[in-house]
């Protein structure tokens, strides 16, 4: 059996009741094989990014302890997305509306660059909508090659990102 690894997952959605979906997704993450949810961030309302002609997103972050390999964890995340109605095969959906988006942000201190799997997430250090929730649960976590979550966030504007009550 693999030793446990701390992994971080970014959650987002803007279709339907996205806040309820993200709360249910935290439960789904806690139910993954050989994985447990250690911390869930607050939910944040964030302006749409990439394609701005769509509703605001709800974003969050999760800290997991897992014994799954990185590729297996990613596969499990994609399965959860599908259960919530996400179709990643829609070419028009890049940065578009979605029921649920789960991104593997960090997997221990691993740096992985393989087809379909890049960890740390290649844009993690550039996106306040991901860093704000991540900073709420793990501000001193190191993003390999970019310093801590807190320092990466300090260099970005986080305008319009608001915690939900």
Question: HEC profile for the chain?
Answer: CCCCEEEEEEEEECCCCHHHHHHHHHHHHHCCCCEEEEEECCCEEECCCCCCCCCCEEEEEEEEEECCCHHHHHHHHHHHHHHCCCCCCCHHHCCCCCCCEEEEEEECCCCEEECCEEECCCCHHHCHHHHHHHHHHCCCCEECCCEEHHHHHHCCCCCCCEECC
**113 is an active site residue:** no
Cβ atoms of 148 and 141 closer than 8 Å: yes
Catalytic residue among 17, 87, 90, 101: 101
Annotated catalytic residue 94? no
For this structure, is 101 an active site residue?
yes
- Among 53, 79, 92, 98, the active-site one is 98
Active site residue 90: no
Q: Which of 103, 109, 127, 150 is catalytic?
A: 103
83, 86, 88, 90: the active-site residue:
86
Neighbours of 52 (CB within 10 A): 9
Residue 151, token pair as written in the block: 């320092």
Active site residues: 86, 98, 101, 103
């Amino acid at each position: 059996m693999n030793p446990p690894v701390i992994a971080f997952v970014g959650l987002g959605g803007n279709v339907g009741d996205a806040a309820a979906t993200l709360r249910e997704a935290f439960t789904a993450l806690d139910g993954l094989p050989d994985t447990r949810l250690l911390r869930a961030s607050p939910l944040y309302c964030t302006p749409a990014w990439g394609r701005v002609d769509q509703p605001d997103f709800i974003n969050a972050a999760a800290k997991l302890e897992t014994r799954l390999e990185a590729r297996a964890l990613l596969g499990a995340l994609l399965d959860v997305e599908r259960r919530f109605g996400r179709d990643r095969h829609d070419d028009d959906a890049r940065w578009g509306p979605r029921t649920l988006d789960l991104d593997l942000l960090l997997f221990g201190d691993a740096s992985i660059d393989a087809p379909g799997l890049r960890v740390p997430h290649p844009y993690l250090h550039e996106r306040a909508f991901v860093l704000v929730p991540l900073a709420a649960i793990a501000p001193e976590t190191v993003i390999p090659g970019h310093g801590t979550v807190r320092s990466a966030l300090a260099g970005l504007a986080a305008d319009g990102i608001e915690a939900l009550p």
